[in-house]
Structure 1
Amino acid sequence: MTDTATEIAAVRALLAAGERPADLAGRRKRLDGLTARYDMPADVVVKPVDADGVKAEWTLTPDADPKRAILFLHGGGYAAGSIRSHRHMLAQAGREAGTRTLALDYRLAPENPFPAALEDALTGYRFLLAQGFLPENIVLAGESAGGGLAISTLVSLRDAGTPLPACAWCASPWVDLEMSAATMESKAAVDPLIQRPYLQELATAYLHGADPRNPLVSPIHADLKGLPPLLIQVGSDETLLEDAIRLAGVAASADVRTSLQVWPQMIHAWHLFYPQLADGRRSLAEMGAFVRAVLG
């Protein structure tokens, strides 16, 4: 086996150890626990903050430019995930990009269905503006559901006439809550994390009766004209592969500068496992290079 194959096999084995809990509390605990094995580097400073009513957290590395920030929206299908589950990965993303990072603990479904997460994302962005961050020094980022939420946030900001961030990074974005992509079936046998029945359950909880074709829940249906440059990263072994490809096509058709990276053999949210996965480290480095190039 190649080094990549050996490393991703180890991550697959980690994910296969134990079934996904049936209850929501168990699922949330499991996602946080998946990354608890990774130690935070000693030079990372973590600071909780109230972002105008939204629980949030700063992470800073020694070389972070205090005037630049990544605003991050975690994955977890709008029903799980947290600041804790993605903290180590986001700290590394900030290191690669040379920025501070602000992670939002946005409200989760089913307790807080759409549009609660979107409202919190908008609040978080406006909090950064109120703190003196210039739009051209802000990166909006999200993984999985957070990737879709990032695009919905950009559309909402544009429509409100709010100055947009410099660019956006979407990792394994979920942008179609109808799950109409062909890779929902064609990649089902190789994706260890995300399957149609589970996504349908999550979508039902988040939508709470809303139309799954609403552009603010499924931004694959949104008009993306005027959005800033996008970096979209996805693994070839994801049921969400086509979500990312279609998003890139919709953005490109709307004259948005778009970079799509498909990482061979990678699974959903592989960035989370970067301490033991070289392609996780490489993909974060690619994101950092993209951000540095855009910010100048």
Structure 2
Amino acid sequence: MASEVQVETSPVGPVVRPPGGTELVVLYLHGDRHLSCTPEAALDLASRLALWTDAVVVCARYGGTFPDALDDVHAAYDHCESRGPVAVAGERLGAGLAAALLVRLRDLGAPPPLCGVLNSALLDLTLDSPSLLLNAAADPTFDVPELRRRCAHYAAGTSPTDPLLSPLHANLHGLPPVQLLAAGTDPLLDDSLGFATRAARSGVTVDLRIRPDAPSLHPETVTAMGDFIRAWTPAARTAHPA
């Protein structure tokens, strides 16, 4: 697959470019359960997503504390938006930042992305959802006290109910279409369920997909994300040089 795409550098992070392709840009925000952002770790997924969507995928770098991380993501969005229509996607903390970006852009009256995709999203840093304890108890590798410590460090003194830190607590009216992917065994499951419910009640188009567990979710993640993004993409146009 590496021979089918080109990986380039950019001011905001690695860029994966498929052969040919369209003007569409996907801003991808990687995140893991340790709240670390290592965009290079997302290059395999980004390569598969680029090939599935014929889009350039930008794997943005962002800082380790709020609100600098959101500022970095906003700067990456501006970088992408100047090059073509943009979809935003993310995983874990990256998905939370993607949701926060949608809220911030709406509040600023700025052009929104075509859609957003949130995979196993961390959307509520109060960390008081039932699934966090119930599902973490079934996963000996998931360390809830460590997650709380990392979230406190990331918040950097910001209230955990701040709508840009925890988008689950934001006003969700007027957001673009959103897809949420999660496993039924995910400790963060309730974040996705709560966000989907509140977004749908606010008139947002929502595609919620819950699979029984991670092994059943992972094989279809790229195709589900890609199909949703393509469904909300205008007629493809041949890419112009960035």
TM-score, scaled to structure 1: 0.75
State the alpha-carbon separation in 2 of the partners of residues 160 and 105 from structure 1. 22
Say whether 1:260 aligns with 2:208: yes
Structure 1 residue 42: deviation in Å?
Answer: 1.9
User: What residue in structure 2 maps to residue 176 of structure 1?
Assistant: 124
Match for residue 62 of structure 1? Answer: 19
Q: Which residue of 1 aligns with 2:196?
A: 248
Quick one: distance in 2 between partners of 1:128 and 1:78? Answer: 27
CA distance in structure 2 between the partners assigned to 1:178 and 1:205 by the alignment: 13
Aligned residues: 234
The gaps in structure 1 that reach 5 residues or longer are 1-39, 267-276
Q: Which runs of 5+ in 2 are unaligned?
A: 235-242
Please state how far the C-alpha of 1:79 moved relative to its aligned partner: 4.4
Q: What SS is found at the alignment partner of 1:76?
A: coil
Residue pairs, 1:37-116, within 5 angstroms: 41-51=2-12, 56-65=13-22, 67-76=23-32, 79-108=35-64, 113-116=65-68
Q: Does 1:289 align with 2:227?
A: yes
The aligned amino acid for 2:32 is: G
Kindly provide the CA deviation profile for residues 242-283 of structure 1, in whole angstroms up to 9, marking residues without a partner as x. Answer: 1110110111111100010001121xxxxxxxxxx6742322
TM (norm. structure 2) is: 0.91
Distance (Å, rounded) in 2 between the aligned partners of 1:50 and 1:78: 25
> Equivalent residue for 1:129?
81
Moved more, 77-86 or 140-149: 77-86
Aligned to 1:270: none
For 2:53 and 2:177, the matched residues in 1 are separated by 15
Describe the SS at the equivalent of 1:291.
Answer: helix
Q: Quickly say closer, same or farther: Cα 1:281–1:77, change in 2 above 3 A.
A: closer
Pairing 1:226–2:164 present: no
Equivalent position amino acid for 1:177 in 2: L
2 CA distance for matches of 1:47 and 1:220? 34
Paired residue for 2:109? Answer: 161
Q: How does 1:179-194 map to 2 (within 5 A)?
A: 179-191=127-139, 193-194=141-142
Pick closer, same or farther for the CA change 1:210–1:286 going to 2, 3 Å. same
Residue of 158, 161, 172 corresponding to 1:210: 158
Distance in 1, matches of 2:230 and 2:138, equals 34
Any conservation in 2 of the 1:179–1:196 contact (CA below 8 Å)?
Answer: no
Aligned to 1:119: 71
Q: Secondary structure at the match of 1:249?
A: helix
Say if 1:256 and 1:162 are closer, same or farther in 2 by CA, change over 3 A: same
AA at the equivalent of 1:183: S
Q: Deviations over 1:83-140 (max 9, x none)?
A: 11111111112222221100111112xxxx210100001101111223x32xxx2101
One-letter amino acid of the structure 1 residue matched with residue 153 of structure 2: A
How far is 1:192 from its partner? 5.4
Question: One-letter code of the match for 2:68?
Answer: A
Alignment partners' CA distance in 1, 2:128 and 2:203: 24
